Structure 1
Amino acid sequence: MAAVIPVALDPTHVRIALVGQGPLAKRRLAQLLEGGAAPAVYSPEPDAELIALAGIALRRALPAPADLEGVQVLFVVGIDDPAAEALARQARVRNILVNVEDVIPLCDFHAPSVIRRGDLLMTVSTGGRSPALAQVLRERLETLFPAVWADRLAELAALRDRLRATGAKGPEVLRACRDLIAAKGWLP
């Protein structure tokens, strides 16, 4: 069993870059943008969709070593193996966390499958061992937690804020939130 530590990164505090091309690079870029990131994007041969998605952040080349200065997290997707290996080495020399899609030995971290419902974020990870299983589980969670959960979270957050404003402490807030979830029948 691989050891992993789940983390949620705030993209306003982390400099992210994406190197890639093809459908998986577009998917990863869309996920980063949806999460609030504004990554630098490097692609030697971007298609029209990647060009549109990346906008002014796109550089039509692989990054030079100097381009990686200041980057803290690097995603590499759809780049040939020798170039991906070189980028992973360059990143690690600079203490940059790197993920080379579907190449476990070159990954410092694995990006989980993601379900977003407003501020509600659910993830599924197999540690890179079975992206297909992560996808199937994500699809199942999407049906169990439809878009209405964004509103439910907002309702719970408002309750929490009201209780905190009156001086309520953690256990009381937790109990009230659990009671609301039960009273509304949100979970079976």
Structure 2
Amino acid sequence: MMPLVFTGATRVLLVGHGPAFAKRRALLEASGLALTLHAALPDDAALDSARLVFGAGLDEAEGEALAAAARARRIPVNIEDVPHLCDVHVPAMIRRGDLLFTVSTAGGAPAMAAALRAWLDQRFGPEWADHLRSLAEERQALRAAGATPPEVMRALTARIRDSAWLDCPCAAQKR
């Protein structure tokens, strides 16, 4: 497995219908990707412009056709809940502004991924978006002032340590 984070410029095609489609649409929209929606199998032009393809709520024949069309164009594809039609998997996620936690079990143990996601969700609340934003602003200010990358890293590491953000009783206890 190799985790990747796609930028907002990535053109994503989502094909499908029903509740699974709506759920996948919400997830992709929250990610800020450039999303194009199709209720039925898209035409060649739509596929040719995509860089990542998702299918959700499709029947077996639709999923196979979409996966084949994407793969023929060397576009990574994910057909929800059909592992053999997936080149990529979507991990369990927690988003706190630009801070993104992901958990993947390569599809082998979704219950574990869900449990770890819930564990992280309880321990990293909405305030973490502000923590990250303030660190990003400080990083920009240090770089603008001429600090070298190692100096920036030392300063921000000290800020994280001094803030005690990571000093919490949430560390796993040995049993």
User: TM-score normalised to the size of structure 1?
Assistant: 0.82
Distance 1:155 1:111 in 2: 29
- For the pair 1:10 / 2:7, whether they are aligned, the reply is yes
Which one-letter code corresponds to 1:5 in the other structure? M
Structure 2 unaligned blocks of 5 or more: 168-175
Q: How much identity, in percent, do the aligned residues show?
A: 46
- Which residue of 1 is the match for residue 58 of structure 2? 79
Distance 1:131 1:65 in 2: 34
Pairwise CA distance, 1:66: 4.3
User: TM-score normalised to the size of structure 2?
Assistant: 0.88
Distance 2:45 2:145 in 1: 52
Pairwise CA distance, 1:67: 3.2
Which one-letter code corresponds to 2:53 in the other structure? L
Equivalent pair of 1:98/1:106 in contact (CA under 8 Å): yes
Pairwise CA distance, 1:145: 0.8
Which one-letter code corresponds to 1:28 in the other structure? R
| CA distances 1:100-140 after superposition (whole Å, capped 9, x unpaired) | 11211111111111211111111111122222322221121
2:33 aligned to 23, 37, 41, which one?
A: 37
Q: Against the structure 1 CA distance between its residues 66 and 166, is the aligned structure 2 distance closer, same or farther, given a 3 Å change threshold?
A: closer
- For the pair 1:23 / 2:2, whether they are aligned, the reply is no
Pairwise CA distance, 1:141: 0.9
- For the pair 1:67 / 2:46, whether they are aligned, the reply is yes
Q: In structure 2, the residue corresponding to 1:69 is in which secondary structure?
A: helix
Structure 1 unaligned blocks of 5 or more: 44-60
List 4+ stretches of structure 1 deviating above 3 A: 64-67
